[in-house]
Structure 1
Amino acid sequence: MLVQRTLLSSAVLSALAVLSSAASAQSDIVEQASALPPIVVSASPLNANPDTQILSPTKVLSGEELRNKTGTSLGDTLAQELGVSASGFGAGASRPVIRGMGGPRVKILQNGMSVADVSSLSDDHAVATEAALARQIEILRGPAALLYGSGAIGGLVNVVNDRIPTRLQKGISGETEARYGSVDNGKSTSVLLEGSTGPIGMHLDGNWRDTGSYKIPGHAVQNDPASASGRLPTSFTHETNLGVGASYIASWGHLGASVATLDDHYGIPTDEKSFIDLHQTRYDIAGQIDEPLAGFEKLSFKLGRTDYSHTEKGEDGTAHTIFSNQSTETRLALAHKPLAGWHGTFGVQSDATRFSSLGAESNMPDTVPQTKSTSFAAFLVEERDFGPILATAGLRLESVKRQPDAAAQLAERKFNLASYSIGGLWRFAPGYSFGPTLSIAQRAPSAEELYSHGPHEATATFDIGDPALKKETSRNIELTLQKTAGLVRWKANLFENHVRNYVYGRMGETAVDEHDHGAADDQDHDHDHGEFTERFWSQADATIRGAEAEISYNLRGEGFSVRGFADTSRGKLTNMGNLPLQPASRYGVDLGYAQGAWRSGLTILRAQRQDRLATFEHSATPAYTKVDASLSYTQSLANMKLTWFALAKNLLNQDIRLATSVLKDSVPQPGRSLVLGVRSKF
């Protein structure tokens, strides 16, 4: 292992020297690449360019790169980004895991507002937003996270689909796409239309996806010939998504609204062969006033209302449990002009949710009692340029209350949270910078961590919460060294995160049947669920440390391009061994060639064996090599650009198991797949 890492380091350093020489010999190409318009991070308080801000490490996935990586879930779409893996619960439900942290520690946003689903409750619950309709997807950590929630200890992901237009345009423009995938006989189509009439901007988007159960290279359970082979049972997905929006746009700003619906029907690839019917209706109002008062740049406000529900059903279609989450969220932010050199944003945010998990037949609480949660927060993020040093500071104060239904006879909990972050970016030479960041963030335990008491079929666990759990406090330090200009660009990150009172699911040693749990049996548990393993929500101090690095050559220009990357992290509980479900160390290379209308790419990702297990984990995930390729051709047709594309995924047909998945032993990732499609832009 040490020899392998040493060879990798030597190769990266050698490549850096060679590529730097090439860059100096092609300064004209550098200027051309640098002239391309920068990507703006919409979730940044100051709409900064990610190459120059210290709200990083930041990744913005957009354009053809986003379309090539779009999968059937948000986790699948982002799984190969630096420092990001996925929970991998089949094709329908996979959530991003950032630096070994997932669930409620990774906040998922849509246009800067919470998706308000229940995906953080359990890995079998899908994220209620669609990557196929996104203009870009942003991964943020650091001070920016404080604008959106103290609980985003791991980071946040913002899916931007621009359903509420912010600018007028002439005529009608849009994009359409259709694709077919061989691994699951998957078919999908998406459409996006934008236009305006007078001062009114309009937006329409939709997506339809239908996939069968996907092919797997071997058996579902490794070395078990009795388990499923050929295809993974109950790994199908059927999804329909539709959104419309409009806004009044004038010289002073804009005011708009949107409504969207999502229907998702997908299988849970466990022995029970259950499936989930999901429905969400979302209403949003957003506006911005430019220069509302003297000394202020803009006032922005958002109001979101979400009605979410999903029903977990057995193989025969019998409804078992109905999850519901009704949420109302508001945000008001005011960006001020430079004051004593400081430029920033301050504001307030509120959130009120009513969550329930009810037995379908009894209409009584199942696993988690009905719980009302409310929060109110005030935040401030400031930035100042001290010549070669750019400084940023953020503060968020938040009050969170959990109120279980009185019939549950459980204590109400209230948490006062204080989170802040400070950092700097030293631009010690043109295009080069070094940045340390210190963040202290607090998170309130979720309702399921506090109040769970019941079986969860999808994870085969009997979850037992602890109403006395304390708030988590994370102390994170990060160092970033980067080069952000020229043909050769690179970045390296080192981080260490100490979390006091880290909440984790401690698995019991013996399997239990739910009918042995007294009160739980008096609710809606008259159907046979079989054997369950007790999972106790517990707390202990934890440390997560790791590193990420990437180096690229000519990613923005035509001709040959290359990118090398690597990431690793390790989480440990103090005096109690490793954190569960930690990602494998990975490294790889992206190769590309672009000339005229043609684009091609090849990605080789090597994940190492993950045998750093928690005390209650029993199996390591083997190493694997994932090879993907892409080829596209773009042609002009009248006023339209057509892009024909082919994507090959897992070319080596590897049996891939994700160390971050609770189903790593029984749910491999899809085998070799060929995706063919056409995309139009007009």
Structure 2
Amino acid sequence: MNRIQFERRAVALASLLFIAQAHTLAQAQQSAPLAVLESVVVTGTAVQPESITKPFSVVGDDELNASGASTLGEALRYQPGISATGFGPNSSRPIVRGQDSDRIKILRNSAATVDVSALSFDHALPVDPFALHQVEILRGPAALAYGGNAVGGVVNLVDQRIARKPVQGLQGEVNLLGGGAADQTAGGFKLDGGLGQGVSIHLDGFKRTTGDLETPTFTDPDGVTGRRVQNSSSRSDGAAIGASIQTGNGYVGVSAERYNNDYGVPKKLDVRIGMESERYALEGEQNFQGEAIQSIKYRLAKTDYQHQEFEDGTPATVFLNDGVDGRIELGLSPFTLAGLNVSTQAGVQFERTDFSAIGDEAFVPNTSTDQTGLFSIFRASTSQTNSGVFEFGVRVDQVDVNAASSGLSGLTGPVAGAGVTAGPAINRAFSPTSLSLGYTTPIGNGWSLGGSVSRVERAPSSFELYADGVHVATDAYEKGNPTLEEERGRHFELTSTWAQGASKFNATAFASRYSNYIALIGRTGADSIFDENEDGDADPTTGEVLQVFDFTAVPAEFQGLEIGYQTAYKLGAGQVKPAIQYDLVRGKRTDGGGNLPRISPQRVLASLAYSQQGWTVTPEIIWVDKSKAGEGDTQVDAYQLVNLRVGKAFTWGTTGGEVFANLQNLTNELAFSATTLNTVRGYTPLAGRSALVGVKLAF
């Protein structure tokens, strides 16, 4: 679809939805005075966000943009409990507590996203940090409201394209960036306007260009020595429009967006990816007084996604993924039971995606996935001041994963991968059920304690079931298993928090145990390689050979710890804000198979911000331990990064803003990520010494 067609669809969508809503909303405005809604944090949770039984972090747009990262994974890499897949600077997806791929739910304003980033490490998310207002990270069993596919966590991408409160006058911001290890030039804007009568509009856009990422000198596995991640340049742009109308009891709005990205794939120097994504969304909330249903929130989105992979400039494989997702949440009237005050939220969520791949790299067949989930969360407390709060949640899903064809692969066995002999369709149906129970209570002097237990089931994804073929970008042969059953895990979490004035402390310990954890594990031994030229003859002398990776269900357990502390105090005419965080996660098979691959090592991040008269200087040290290699993986050395950020806030008439400089990896340390697939890791070290400058204007 070209840009003109996109613009016509966007205008048509907005017009139809507002015509349908105009009469009802106009009546509501006449019968009730226009109210200015309170500013609230819009989170991806289905229950109140203040409960410490579900730890979460909020990363604002200033922090996202100042990092200079063009991907979500790189922007969040050092948040507590978060790492990144790190397939070069252009394709990096968040990893939460050692969980990646289909266990991390990426949401857009609490609704599901549709792309193919979970299918492969080289597939980027169709979103740029410039477009976001904030990112909300939900870790642990609190993500149950979003199903088993959120067992690792939820990353909710919040934008302001649909205003949730009335916009007063004209507001906006402009962000410009230049330099950095990727020699990037980037700019973005956001514009919000209030038209009166509760009507608000929004426009935003961005453009970003990067070169090959500069690194310390390194020698890749092919023996090539250099100071750049080859074929890691990118060009991306995007734009969006949104509109909403507020009444005294809620809002409703629509938005349309388009995202384009052209980027190179490290290691495969002849491969580039051209991505296009269009998304149309409807969102709203209504509140009612004195009714059995006190509130209703609804989300509906339609996404058309595709990316074309080019080899030596020639079109090769095309990946298409079109989907519709929706979610309705009901807030029910509180009631009293056995002396407890009980509030309830219930809802339904549905997703439909149609995936197809055409070309040489179509190692997954055409599939359709339908998922419908029903969930309910109960919160109970006594009427006493500072009483504890119980939370109980349940979710039941029906998931159907249907492959169009099946056959026999070069590795032999029943599969549904493309490029094999056409056979009958394979249809799998799953009914995962998840339960959670949590309790939190204040214990005095600013301290609170909380804990939770949960049992979560996840249906295997289409590529875990049906992948079977050569994955060119990762130089690997990936093989699914169509007989996989639901992944089942038990999760435990204990959290303590303390706050007093500017000082805050939090500590969370967690453990998970799976009876059949589905992992992508590299083979070892005689059948660990695949020779394309010899039709499966694993003889490395006959031509290029590839390592074989299997989606395998193994018993496994995870354990981890997250600790953070920050404070602030005066120092002369300025203020000092020291902060430190530590996180650790361990993942291993419990059948004697050793560590799981690509688990982030333990890390410490310490910073010391000093501010005075609008100036802020923040030195930062990041220490990452050596990894514990899993089967089919290799150990990665420890590294330390020293960064420095200098910023100056200013006002210029009615305009405010900040100019800043980010100096990263000042010691120019050579570092590799343990969470990157080992067939690519040696080609993609982290960025070297660099200086990024930027300016933000807000009005």
TM-score normalised according to structure 2 size: 0.86
Change (3 A) 1:594 1:68: same
Alignment correspondent of 1:335: 331
Given the alignment, which residue of 319, 323, 326 partners 2:322? 326
Amino acid at match of 1:434: L
Shift of 1:144: 3.9
Per the alignment, residue 402 of structure 1 pairs with: 401
Deviations 1:578-635 (A, max 9, x none): 101111111131110122312221110101111x212222x31111111111111111
What's the CA shift for 1:55? 4.6
**Corresponding residue number in structure 2 for 1:25:** none
- Are 2:45 and 1:44 aligned? yes
In the TM superposition, 1:379-418 aligns within 5 A as 379-386=375-382, 387-406=386-405, 408-418=423-433
- Is residue 483 of structure 2 the alignment partner of residue 487 of structure 1? no
Say which of 300, 304, 327 aligns to 1:303. Answer: 300
Structure 1, unpaired ranges of 5+: 1-36, 519-527
Partner of 1:514: 532
Q: CA deviation at 1:221?
A: 2.1
SS state at 2:667 partner: coil
Counterpart for residue 524 of structure 1: none
Q: Does structure 1 residue 373 correspond to structure 2 residue 351?
A: no
Q: Superposed, which structure 2 residues align to 1:543-562 within 5 Å?
A: 543-554=557-568, 559-562=575-578
The code of the aligned residue for 1:533 comes to Q
1:484 partner SS: strand
Change (3 A) 1:100 1:38: farther
**Using a 3 Å threshold, how does the CA distance of structure 1 residues 100 and 53 change in structure 2: closer, same or farther?**
same
Asked if structure 2 preserves the Cα contact closer than 8 Å seen for 1:233 and 1:273, the reply is no
Residue 607 (str. 1) matches residue 624 (str. 2): yes
For 2:458, the equivalent position in structure 1 comes to 443
Deviation at 1:292? 7.2
- Structure 2 vs 1, CA of residues 182 and 131 (structure 1 numbering), >3 Å: closer, same or farther? closer
Q: Secondary structure at the match of 1:582?
A: coil
> For the Cα contact (< 8 Å) 1:91–1:237, is it kept in 2?
no
Aligned to 2:487: 472
Match of 1:277 in 2: 274
**Secondary structure in structure 2 of the residue aligned to 1:458:** coil
User: How far did 1:289 drift?
Assistant: 1.3
**Contact 1:45–1:344 (CA under 8 A) maintained in structure 2:** no
- C-alpha distance 39-334 of structure 1, shift in aligned 2 (>3 A): closer
Length, aligned pairs only: 625
Partner of 1:503: 518
Q: 2: distance between equivalents of 1:419 and 1:182?
A: 44
What displacement does 1:47 show? Answer: 4.7
CA distance in 2 between partners of 1:166 and 1:155 (Å): 25
**Given the two structures, how large is their TM-score scaled by the length of structure 1?**
0.88
CA distance in 1, matches of 2:286, 2:502: 39
1:222-250 deviation line (CA, Å, top 9, x unaligned): 7x7x3141211101111111111001211
Matched, 1:458 2:454: no
Q: CA deviation at 1:681?
A: 0.5
Distance across 2 between alignment mates of 1:600 and 1:475: 44
* CA distance 1:347–1:517, change in 2 (3 Å): farther
1:60 corresponds to which residue? 58
Q: Does 1:93 align with 2:91?
A: yes
Q: Percent identity?
A: 30
Secondary structure in 1 matching 2:123: coil
Distance (whole Å) between structure 2 residues aligned to residue 134 and residue 87 of structure 1: 21
Deviation at 1:148, TM superposition (A): 2.1
Paired residue for 1:653, among 649, 668, 674?
Answer: 668
Amino acid aligned to 2:355: F
Distance in 2, Cα, partners of 1:411 & 1:529: 33
Q: Which residue of 1 aligns with 2:255?
A: 258
Work out the CA distance in 2 between the residues paired with 1:471 and 1:46: 26
Q: Distance in 2 between matches of 1:339 and 1:130?
A: 44
Change (3 A) 1:428 1:299: same
Q: Give the aligned partner of residue 9 of structure 2.
A: none
* SS of structure 2 residue aligned to 1:571: strand
Q: Does the 8 Å contact 2:141/2:453 carry over to 1?
A: no
Structure 1 SS opposite 2:681? coil
Structure 2 CA distance for aligned equivalents of residues 55 and 201 of structure 1: 36
Q: Is the 8 A contact 1:289 1:300 kept in 2?
A: yes
Q: 1:50-199, aligned counterparts within 5 Å?
A: 52-198=50-196, 199=198
Aligned pair partner of 1:313 in 299, 310, 313: 310
* Aligned equivalent of 2:653: 638
1:536 positional shift: 1.6
Alpha-carbon separation, structure 1, partners of 2:543 and 2:52: 50
Cα distance in 2, alignment partners of residues 184 and 331 from structure 1: 39
How far apart, in 2, do the equivalents of 1:46 and 1:500 lie? 29
Residue type of the alignment partner of 2:84: A
Amino acid at match of 2:440: L
Instruction: Tell me, yes or no, if the aligned pair for 1:220 and 1:668 is still in contact at 8 Å.
Output: no
User: Secondary structure at 2:605's aligned position in 1?
Assistant: strand
Distance in 2 of aligned mates of 1:283 and 1:332: 17
Pairwise CA distance, 1:175: 0.8
Report if aligned partners of 1:54, 1:423 keep a CA contact under 8 Å in 2.
no
Whichever residue aligns with residue 333 of structure 2, its letter is: K
Which whole-Å deviations, capped at 9, do the CAs of 1:339-367 have from their partners, x for residues lacking one? Answer: 2211231110111100111117xxxx820
Distance verdict in 2 for CA 1:318–1:90, change over 3 Å: same
Q: In structure 2, what residue type is equivalent to 1:350?
A: F
Task: Measure, in 2, the Cα distance between the counterparts of 1:38 and 1:309.
Answer: 36
SS at match of 1:104: helix
Mark the CA change 1:345 to 1:640 in structure 2 (over 3 Å): closer, same or farther: same
Could you tell me which residue of structure 2 aligns to residue 217 of structure 1?
A: 216
The Cα shift of 1:117 comes to 0.8
The unaligned stretches of length 5 or more in structure 2 are 1-37, 406-421, 537-541
Return the alpha-carbon distance in structure 2 between the equivalents of residues 517 and 323 of structure 1. Answer: 25
Query: What is the distance in 2 between the residues matched to 1:220 and 1:174?
Result: 46
| 1:564 pairs with one of 575, 580, 602 | 580
Q: Does structure 1 residue 533 correspond to structure 2 residue 547?
A: yes
Aligned match of 2:598: 581
How much does 1:70 deviate?
4.9
Give 1:409 deviation, angstroms: 2.3
The CA deviation at 1:506 is 2.5
Shift, 1:517, TM fit = 4.7
Shift of 1:140: 0.2
Q: Deviations over 1:151-203 (max 9, x none)?
A: 11110100101211122122110111101024221010010000121232111
**AA in 2 matched with 1:402:** V
1:392 aligned partner, one-letter code: E
Please state if 1:664 is matched with 2:681.
yes
285 and 438 in structure 1: CA distance in 2 versus 1, 3 angstrom threshold: same
Q: Supply the distance in 2 between the matched residues of 1:441 and 1:277 (Cα, whole angstroms).
A: 36
Distance 2:78 2:570 in 1: 20
